[in-house]
Structure 1
Amino acid sequence: MHQPAPAPINRQTQIMFKFVQPQGLRVLTATAVVAVLLAGSLGGCAADPKALPEHQNVGKLYEEAREEAAAGASDRAIKLYERLEGLAAGTLLAQQAQLERAFLHYKMQEKAQSLAIIERFLKLHPTSPAADYAYYLQGLINFNDDLGLFGSIVKTDLAERDQQASRDAYQSFKQLVDRYPDSRYAPDARLRINYIINALAAHEVHVARYYYQRGAYVASANRAQQAVQDFRGVPAAEEALYLMAASYHQLGMAPLRDDAWRVLQNNYPKSRWLSQRLGSSALR
Structure 2
Amino acid sequence: MILRNLIPLVISFILLSCTSSEKSNFDVQSNSDVGMYNEAMGYIKSKEYEKSVEILNELELQHPYSDLASRGQVMAGFAQYSLNKYDEAILTLSKFVELNPNHPLLPYALYLKGYAYFERMPDVTLDQKFSVKAHDVFSELENRYPNSRYAKKSKTHIKTLKNHLASKEMQIGKYYQKEGFLLAGIKRYKVILKDFRRTVHVPESIYRIIECYISLGLRNQSIYLYTILNYNFPKSIWKSEALDLLKEHKVNRNLKKYKKKELDLEKLDSRAFDLI
| Aligned-residue offset at 1:173 | 1.6
Match of 1:266 in 2: 231
1:63, CA displacement in angstroms? 2.9
Check whether the contact 1:115–1:138 (CA below 8 A) recurs between aligned residues: yes
- In 2, the alpha carbon distance for the partners of 1:57 and 1:5 equals 30
Structure 1 Cα separation of the partners of residues 212 and 55 of structure 2? 59
Normalised by the size of structure 1, how large is the TM-score? 0.73
From the superposition, tell whether residues 171 and 134 of structure 1 become closer, same or farther in structure 2 (CA, over 3 Å): same
Query: Does 2:194 correspond to 1:222?
Result: no
Q: Structure 1 residue 278 and structure 2 residue 245: aligned?
A: yes
Judge conservation of contact 1:31–1:59 (CA < 8 Å) in 2: no
The partner residue of 1:153 within 113, 117, 124 is 124
Provide, for residues 119-172 of structure 1, a one-character-per-residue CA deviation record: whole Å limited to 9, x for no partner: 111111101111111111111111137xxx45x234xxxxxx533322222222
Write the distance in 2 (CA, Å) between the matches of 1:124 and 1:103: 17
Check if 1:206 corresponds to 2:177: no
Change (3 A) 1:121 1:224: same
| Structure number having the greater helix percentage | 2
Amino acid at match of 1:248: Y
Matched, 1:167 2:132: yes
User: Counterparts in 2 of 1:16-165, with a 5 A limit?
Assistant: 20=9, 25=12, 30-31=17-18, 55-144=30-119, 149=121, 152-154=123-125, 161-165=126-130
- Gaps of at least 5 residues in structure 2 are 20-26, 249-276
Please give the secondary structure, in 1, of the residue aligned with 2:149.
Answer: coil
Contact in 2 for aligned 1:6/1:100 (Cα 8 Å):
no
- The residue type equivalent to 2:221 in the other structure is L
Shift of 1:27: 7.6
Q: CA deviation at 1:68?
A: 2.6
| TM-aligned CA deviation for residue 58 of structure 1 | 3.3
Q: In 2, Cα distance between the equivalents of 1:274 and 1:252?
A: 20
Cα deviation digits, residues 245-273 of structure 1 (max 9, x gap): 01112223222222222221222111112
Kindly state the Cα deviation for residue 243 of structure 1 after the two structures are TM-superposed. 0.5
Question: The residue matched to 1:100 in structure 2 has which SS?
Answer: helix
Q: Return the alpha-carbon distance in structure 2 between the equivalents of residues 55 and 128 of structure 1.
A: 26
- Quick check: 66-75 or 136-145, which moved more? 66-75
Shift of the 240–27 alpha-carbon distance from structure 1 to 2, 3 Å rule, reads closer
> For residue 83 of structure 1, what is the amino acid of its counterpart?
E
The CA distance in 1 between the partners of 2:130 and 2:227, in whole Å, is 35
2:102 aligns to what SS in structure 1? coil
Residue type of the partner of 2:94? E
TM-score (norm 2): 0.75
Identity %: 26
1:232 and 2:197 are equivalent in the alignment: yes
Q: How many residues are paired up?
A: 239
| CA–CA distance in structure 2, aligned partners of residues 197 and 153 of structure 1 | 12
Return the structure number with greater relative CO, CA threshold 8 A, min gap 6.
1
Are 1:30 and 1:62, in contact at CA under 8 Å, matched by a contact in 2? no
